[in-house]
Chain A
Amino acid sequence: MRFKSLGLVLLASAVLIACAPPPPPFNATEVSNLSYGRGLGIPDTDGEIRRIDDFKGRVTLVFFGFTRCPDICPTTLMRLRQVRNALGEDAHKVQVLLVSVDPERDTPDRLGAYVKSFDDSFIGLRPEPAELEKVVKAFHAIAVKVPTVGDDYTIDHSATIYVYDRENQLRLIAQPTLEIDLFAADLKRLAQEG
């Protein structure tokens, strides 16, 4: 009898453990075992070489843009500032990196002033023009120069945001339209891991 009830208790606990809900899915797309951009060194606007692995302990967001982009790039930068601020005391654990797809026109000074004007913590990375293709490929991203009027051109580019966890593992790929509170909830979880 006593063994029977013990058995029941054990069975009940096993059932409870098995039924423990799995962690809810992230709002952005979850990825694993992708080493996009890892180990790649890109100069920042002060000329210092930066790697994703330099930001261990922080949740690192990488995306592509350029200063002559009138819409999506400033919109994304503004939104990322709002997302970061929404994390409150964990905000300092989030690092935003903008990689220029237009190093020919984005001089270090111009890119630096631009990025910092959205948030002083943001860092602009400027690949050498000859390195740009390699950098873009390392993220399986796209950046294509498209002539517009006269000598002018625009650049079709990936607008997705790559999110690395505090161990520098690529964990999420977010669309720039992801709602601020949903994005912030994802980053909060990653910031509080480990």
Chain B
Amino acid sequence: MKISLALLLLLASITRVFAADPITIERPWARASAPGQTVGGGFMTIVHQGGGEDRLVSATTPIAREVQIHTMNMDGGVMRMRPVEGGLAIPADGRVVLQPGGLHLMFMDINAPLVAGTTFPVTLRFAKAGEIKVEFNVEARTR
């Protein structure tokens, strides 16, 4: 009896380890769009607690025609933005931060304005972790 309980507990803990998502998304948010703006920027922190590199390969959302993963950098006063080729690498036990002034998701041709206080779903596709669905919060344009 005692043994089987211990076994059960052990099994439960193993299941928990395997069930824990290797990738979690912290604070997904997008900026409220400005009138006239047909694109939006999305930001989040991707936390990887699994071994081996994973990649954010693509993303989709019902609110835009297409989602692109972009890098942005300033080079001698010039802003350069590029789609990330081959997906965004997520290192083992690492964090990748998408934030204003750097990496971001770009929502191309949004169907409707992004209004502060609302949310919208985005499906992220990782090479190993598979699909992860997240709700992006639309925040007022203050930063």
User: Residues of A with Cβ closer than 8 Å to B?
Assistant: 67-72, 74-75, 78, 109-114, 116-118, 142, 146, 148-149, 152, 154, 156-160, 175-177
In the complex, per-residue mask of B33-75: 1 if CB is within 8 Å of any chain A CB, else 0: 0111111110000000000000000000000001010101010
Give Cα distance in the complex from A68 to B38, angstroms: 6
Q: Are A74 and B34 in contact (CB-based, < 8 A)?
A: yes
Task: Say which size band chain B's interface belongs to.
Answer: 20 to 34
Say whether, besides A70-B41, A70-B106, A71-B104, A78 and B66 are in contact (CB < 8 Å). no
Binds A, one of B16-24, B80-88, B119-127, B130-138: B80-88
Cβ A67 vs Cβ B108 within 8 A = no
Q: Which interface residue of B68, B70, B77, B143 has the most chain A CB atoms within 10 A?
A: B77
Closest to B40 in A: A70
From known contacts A70-B104, A78-B143, A149-B83, infer whether A117 and B78 are also in contact, taking CB-CB under 8 Å. Answer: no
Total A-B contacts with CB atoms under 8 angstroms apart: 89
Q: Are A113 and B35 in contact (CB under 8 A)?
A: yes
Cross-chain contact B104 with A117 (CB below 8 angstroms): no
Which of these, B36, B41, B68, B141, contacts A78 with CB under 8 Å?
Answer: B141
Q: Identify the 6 closest CB pairs spanning chains A and B, nearest first.
A: A114-B36, A70-B41, A113-B35, A110-B36, A113-B36, A159-B79
Distance A157 CA – B77 CA, assembled complex (angstroms):
8
Knowing A74-B34, A74-B141, A149-B68 are in contact, say whether A68-B39 is a contact too (CB < 8 A). yes
Contact A74–B81 (Cβ < 8 Å): no
The complex places the Cα of A84 from the Cα of B107 at a distance, in Å, of 30
Distance in angstroms between the alpha carbons of A159 and B76 in the assembled complex: 9
CB-defined contacts of B72 to chain A, threshold 8 Å? 71-72
Cα(A116)–Cα(B37), bound, Å: 12
> Counting CB contacts under 8 A, is B101 at the interface?
yes
- B142 interface contact, C-beta 8 A: yes
**Cβ contact within 8 Å between B83 and A71:** no
Contacts of B83 in A (CB 8 A): 148-149
Q: Is the CB of B70 within 8 A of A78?
A: no
